[in-house]
A = this chain, B = another copy of it.
Amino acid sequence: MRGATLRDVALLAGVSARTVSNVVNGYAPVTERTRLKVERAIAELDYRPNVLARNLANGRSGQIAVVVPYLDTPYFAELLQAIIPRAREHGYNVLVDQTDGDPEHERELVRRGARGVLFDGMILSPLGLAQEDLSDCDPTLPLVVLGERTSDGTFDHVGIDDVQASREATRHLIDLGRRRVAAVGDQPYPTGEAAQLRTRGYRLAHEDAGLPVDESLIVRTPRFNRADGSRAMTRLLDRPDPPDAAFCYSDLVALGALHTALDRGLRVPEDIALIGYDDIEEGRYSNPTISTVSPDKEAIATTAVDRLLRRMTGTTPLPGVEVRASHRLIPRQSTVGRPS
């Protein structure tokens, strides 16, 4: 038995479909009496509007897609956690897609656009996407990109000031007297824009302090996860002249590095100080706790959803804007040590 339709309700209530629709959507004013009749019929038939039909008639799905590289990366999970309620507040459901860092998958999503898929707009946190890939995306797709990027002005960007944040993080280590500060996470290729911004901040901090940069202390990682951090730290510690501090491009990298450093019998921060990036909860419970750059995730989520809504509802195409959310440095045990 299929569910009751609008028509069934109308018949039972002795009114037209139009009226039922009005009652359901609270649109046009309806007589109190009529409303009651209709509501009774709805209750009796256990009527629930068919969203599929409504979508077709409206030409919109009421869904937004949030696309992240990996769902099990805490930073993205925490971000999603913040985005979903914001979207729901505005009556949107969230379709979560993970690309597994597959550039092709990302590319296809932006190229295909919203037409042909089940969402009205998209918030994308790109990983393997170079700037140029974003340029040839369907311009009719309302799109907000997370993370700082050099924009081409067709869509919005929301992120923090990566260069400045990285500069502060590195400076924090230098201020503590460290002189051999490693940078862990560089990605000197087209899809590694975010990483490159952090490397730039790292360099600037050295300039600020009048210190030379030991290029060999800038190490690459293919991704920003624990295993990468662990491997990078192993390589660094195997050197004859290991670093006395490391600015890691994500908290996961820092946690992987921490794991390996402790495993090697080093003391953190005495022998090597570590600072991460993202402020995921895990870093507040590790031993030692991880110093980090904390982006304002709530602000990022709120802004991203707001911008997207504006793009979806707006009739005229908006110019792309760059929004910078705030961030702050949070020193914890991995740099300043434990209170004694």
Contacts and interface: CB of A to CB of B under 8 A. Distances in A.
Interface of A: 3, 48-53, 55-56, 59, 61-63, 70-72, 74, 77-78, 80-81, 84-85, 93-98, 100, 112-113, 115-118, 226, 230, 255-256, 258-259, 262-263, 281-282, 284-287
13 contacts: A48-B112, A51-B116, A52-B61, A55-B118, A63-B95, A71-B80, A85-B100, A93-B97, A96-B96, A255-B282, A259-B285, A263-B287, A286-B287
A262 B281 contact: no
Contact of A256 (B72, B112, B285): B285
A151 B306 CA distance: 42
Contacts of A255: 282, 285
A71 B81 contact: yes
Contact of A56 (B55, B95, B100): B55
Q: Which of A84, A97, A115 has the most CB of B within 10 A?
A: A115
Contacts of A284: 226
A115 B50 contact: yes
Given A226-B285, A256-B285, A77 B71 contact: yes
Given A71-B71, A71-B81, 9 more contacts: A71-B80, A72-B281, A81-B98, A85-B100, A93-B97, A94-B96, A255-B285, A256-B285, A282-B282
Contacts of A287: 258-259, 262-263, 286-287
List of 6 A-B pairs having minimum Cβ-Cβ separation, nearest first: A48-B116, A96-B96, A72-B77, A259-B285, A72-B81, A56-B56
Contacts of A118: 51-52, 55, 61-63, 93, 118
B61 A285 contact: no
A72 B93 CA distance: 18
A122 to B, nearest CB: 13
Given A71-B77, A77-B77, A94-B96, A230 B52 contact: no
Given A93-B118, A259-B285, A286-B287, A84 B71 contact: yes
Given A226-B285, A286-B287, A84 B72 contact: no
A72 B77 CA distance: 5
Contacts of A70: 81
B3 A51 contact: no
Contacts of A116: 3, 48-51
Contacts of A3: 115-116
A151 to B, nearest CB: 25
A51 B62 CA distance: 13
Contacts of A93: 95, 97, 118
A72 B61 contact: no
Nearest to A333: B263
A114 B292 CA distance: 43
A155 B3 CA distance: 20
A230 B113 CA distance: 46
A338 B48 CA distance: 59
Contacts of A77: 71-72, 74, 77
Contacts of A113: 48
